[in-house]
Amino acid sequence: MKKINILIVDDHPMVLEGMKALLSNFDYMSVIGTATNAFETMDKLKNQQVDIVIVDINLPEVSGIELTARIKKEYPAIKVLAMSTFKERSYISQMIKNGASGYLVKSASKEEIEAAIQSANEGKLYLSLDINSIDLNSEIAPDVPVVSRREKEVLQLIVDGLTNPQIADKLFISLHTVDSHRKNLLAKFNVNNTASLIRVAIKNNLVET
């Protein structure tokens, strides 16, 4: 079986060493490096074959939430597991929205960490047991609005400069539906016109430019 290559990102050396030691218990995992900030992480990803990045949410300068979005944008195949002491819902929802495959609290046991890495590796979502017991089946109110698949497609085509009829043609949906998606996007981001919509879409990394 191919080993799972792991990169650990945390600004505290003790956490890095602890995590490394813990993961050395599993012979099918290999910690191929550590990083203490977002810049170092992106550097390492350039040169190494990594399957899973374990990211601390609370990093200096560029937060783990932003780093997650960046990793998923540049390396969609790499799985990200978020790690933190925070249990607040908004952090979890933001990480997941940005493409994280799971969320671990630092109080997690060895078994939980293994389960998280395994499910991330299989492309499944994993949430720490601690969090499950707090938030089981509850609603998460995201800080940044979530856009649906269609809305995202429409948004991308708006940014690409297509008109409503062109978008309708391209997505095989009616002109009326395109207009509704556009209306939804304006309402969600609380903006009045397309120019402002494009600006927030770019700011929130929702589109490719």
Partner 1 sequence: MLIFISQYHGLENRLETTTEVVVYRIVQELLNNVVKHAEATIVLVQVMCYENSLNITIEDNGKGFDQATDKKSSGLNNVRSRVDYLKGQLDIQSAPGKGTSVYIDFSIQPGQ
Q: Where does this chain bind partner 1 (CB under 8 A)? A: 93, 96, 124-125, 127, 132, 135-142, 145-146, 148-151, 173-174, 176-177, 180, 183-184, 187-188
Q: Report how far apart, in Å, the C-alpha atoms of 141 and of each of 60, 74, 197 are.
A: 25, 27, 21
Smallest gap, in angstroms, from Cβ of residue 105 to partner 1? 15
Q: Report how far apart, in Å, the C-alpha atoms of 110 and of each of 27, 39, 64, 82, 106 are.
A: 14, 28, 22, 16, 11
Complex with partner 1: residue 46 or 149, whichever CB lies closer: 149
Complex with partner 1: residue 48 or 166, whichever CB lies closer: 166
Q: Which of 104, 111, 92, 118 is nearest to 54 (CA)?
A: 104
Smallest gap, in angstroms, from Cβ of residue 184 to partner 1? 5
C-alpha–C-alpha distance, residues 182 and 203, integer Å: 18
Smallest gap, in angstroms, from Cβ of residue 54 to partner 1? 19
Complex with partner 1: residue 27 or 139, whichever CB lies closer: 139
Give φ, ψ of 83 to 5 degrees: -140, 135
Complex with partner 1: residue 34 or 84, whichever CB lies closer: 84
Smallest gap, in angstroms, from Cβ of residue 22 to partner 1? 24
